[in-house]
Amino acid sequence: MRTLKLVATIGSTFLVTMIGATPAAAAVHRSYVSGFEFYATSTQGRFAGSAAGQGANGLSGAWSIVVEHTSLGGCSPTYPACGQVTGGTFSLVVPNPAEVVSGSFNSEATSSQPNTIVLVEAGQNCTNQRFWIADGLHNVGAWEHVGTGSFGAYLTHYRHSIFGRCITYSATVQGTVELDF
């Protein structure tokens, strides 16, 4: 009888361990993101803001990104596709269940995921500029970083002329992120 109890205990422990260790099926998580730029150089922007989950698998929480990119100095109405993402990271803190989902920009253009920065509105006479930024994500996940994703958003540079110089004084970003992990 003791042997039977021992075998049953070991067997049930093994079964619970295996069920708990089995990863859930990957799902696409789509979120609307909006935020502000809190640090910028000519080739890097750092943003933070809020994410609102879209659909049944959408993730909501606080997010941040670091986008490394080519200089946007050559952007003009005659050359609108003027930049590319060269690296960076994405993080989303989800409150329930509490976890951090993160990934990296893949900096590669594919048939399904462009890597581009496009000037959408030039901001004539020192008015606001708008850019479209799109790139794929890789190494996405909360625990195992094996997923993929995509990021696409409008970047708005708020500008004003001061003593004849056009100064960007703030920037915001609004778009979507899809995470498949």
Per DSSP, the residues of 7-41 read HHHHHHHHHHHHHHHSPPPP-EEEEEEEEEEEEE-
Mean pLDDT score across all residues of the chain:
87
The pLDDT value given to residue 109: 81
In order of 104, 109, 146, the CA distances from 142 in angstroms are 13, 25, 10
Mean pLDDT over 119-137 rounds to 96
Query: Phi and psi of 7, rounded to 5°?
Result: -65, -40
pLDDT tens digit sequence for 112-127: 778 999 999 999 999 9
Given a cut of 80, whether residue 26 has pLDDT beyond it is no
The pLDDT value given to residue 18: 37
- Residue 1 CB burial class (10 angstroms; 0-12, 13-18, ≥19): exposed
Where is 127: in which H helix or E strand? none
**Residue 102 corresponds to which tokens in the numbers above?**
């993160």
Is this structure's pTM higher than 0.75? yes
Q: How many angstroms separate the CA atoms of 136 and 115, rounded?
A: 7
Using 50, 70 and 90 to split pLDDT, how confident is the model at 25? Answer: low
Given a cut of 50, whether residue 12 has pLDDT beyond it is no
Percent of the chain topping pLDDT 70: 86
Given a cut of 80, whether residue 23 has pLDDT beyond it is no
pLDDT tens digit sequence for 54-111: 999 999 999 999 999 999 988 998 888 999 999 999 999 999 889 999 999 998 888 7
